[in-house]
Amino acid sequence: MNRIHRVLLLSVVLSSAISGCSDEAKYKAMEKKYNAVQADKAQHQSMTAEEMAAHSGEAMHHGMSAETAAAPKIDTDEISRRADDLPPTLNRAQAQLVSVDLYTDEQVAEIMPEVTYQYWTYNGKVPGPFIRARAGDQVEIHLSHGKPGAAHQGHNEHSSAEHAAAGHSAHSIDLHAVVGPGGGAHLMQVGQGEDKSFSFKATHPGLYVYHCASPHVPTHIANGMYGMILVEPVEGLAKVDREFYVMQGDFYTAGKYGDKGFQAFSKDKLLIEQPDYFLFNGRVNSLSGDRALKAKVGEKIRLFVGVGSHVAANFHIIGVIFDRVYPDGVILNPPLQNVQTTIIAPGSAVMIEFTAEVPGKYLLVDHSLTRAIDKGALAELVIEGSASSPEIFQQLSH
């Protein structure tokens, strides 16, 4: 994110926060600023270097320098958590205390190039951190409302009334791995400027979703407040070479898929369950190119795939047969074998294992394929190396 856009974004957030903070006023202000940036960007793109130099006086007036004006790309902070961003397999014989630090953070980021959205997150990314514990562990969850250190003054300087008007006077956490009322959420309603903690014993091994459970709960979830917690069995999990963390989410925006500019959250579309975006890890193409899932031929791969939001996923990897699937987060039962596509309910997750056999690029999709082709549910798995045995897959020549 370059300096102009950091400044503009901050001013968008601040001005909207100050100007009463009704959702509508806030979104209008954001949209106006964003459109101004876009217009400026278009103007700069059509300029010669000479015109650019002449224009730099005006650019300064907007708080820009000629240097930054020459790089007009809208580049907000990365919202997507990488698929390889998870703690390593636990390998310990004893239970222990697991302490988890979470903070909530609302931020405007790109859902796709030139399209921005205000996400609500745990720890600044979608999904939130992958939490790893072992059966018998005592787990402490510490949740602070707002980023510690006040880097996001635009958020932290809201008054309580403004927070309420914006719909996030409190954030919280409900972990499906918890046995107890609200999954912890009753103890963990955290208001502006507050932090709270609670502790639970991880009694039931499994792969679980966690999410925000503050009113209006579906809105908090739709905006990105979810993640996963794995409770490993006492004997641990089988050793693999690669593990990946992927969550599918449905997003509801004022405009249609791909409409440029700032897109406000559409509660109307959420209520009728008509998402504009189906996304892996928070944005379009978040797990492609240099962020693709990567492994080598012969390696054992384990995927943790969950659905944090409202629509079930039909998870499939084109050209891969899942050797083992542990549906519904049930990791103690014998797995299903040789699975093509697996359904993941909202608020649930699956563990998938397979061995990479043939090199190449594979696509992760929701096999309700318009979601993949037209609404974003697409990611890449790249297998490097040479095939262990050519008869598995080869082109025949005539």
Site residues, Cu ion (CB under 5 A): 171, 212, 214, 220, 225
Least spacing, CB of residue 280 vs Cu ion, in Å: 21
Q: Return the structure tokens found at 342.
A: 């697996």
Asked if residue 285 lies in contact with residue 265, where contact means CB atoms within 8 angstroms, the answer is no
Least spacing, CB of residue 8 vs Cu ion, in Å: 26
Q: Is the peptide bond before 62 cis (omega within 30 degrees of 0)?
A: no
Least spacing, CB of residue 214 vs Cu ion, in Å: 5
Q: Is the peptide bond before 205 cis (omega within 30 degrees of 0)?
A: no
Least spacing, CB of residue 194 vs Cu ion, in Å: 13
Q: Which is nearer to Cu ion, 105 or 380 (CB)?
A: 105
Q: For residues 267 and 118, what is the distance between their CA atoms, to the nearest angstrom?
A: 13
Q: Return the structure tokens found at 282.
A: 């928070």
Least spacing, CB of residue 224 vs Cu ion, in Å: 9
Partners of residue 197 on adjacent β-strands = 142
- HEC sequence for 195-207: EEEEEEECCCCEE
Q: For residues 311 and 275, what is the distance between their CA atoms, to the nearest angstrom?
A: 9
Partners of residue 315 on adjacent β-strands = 342, 366
Alpha carbons within 13 angstroms on the beta-carbon side of residue 262 total 23
Least spacing, CB of residue 270 vs Cu ion, in Å: 15
Least spacing, CB of residue 135 vs Cu ion, in Å: 28
Residues 6+ away with beta carbon under 8 Å from 144: 102, 103, 104, 190, 194, 195
Q: Which is nearer to Cu ion, 185 or 344 (CB)?
A: 185
Question: H/E element holding 4?
Answer: helix 3-18
DSSP string, 158-220: --HHHHHHHT-SEE--EETT--SGGGGTTT--EETT-EEEEEEE--S-EEEEEE--SSSHHHH
Give the three-state DSSP class for 282. coil
Q: Which is nearer to Cu ion, 192 or 342 (CB)?
A: 192
Least spacing, CB of residue 228 vs Cu ion, in Å: 17
Q: Which is nearer to Cu ion, 66 or 217 (CB)?
A: 217
Q: Which is nearer to Cu ion, 27 or 335 (CB)?
A: 27
Least spacing, CB of residue 170 vs Cu ion, in Å: 7
Q: Return the structure tokens found at 116.
A: 């921005």
Q: For residues 385 and 390, what is the distance between their CA atoms, to the nearest angstrom?
A: 13
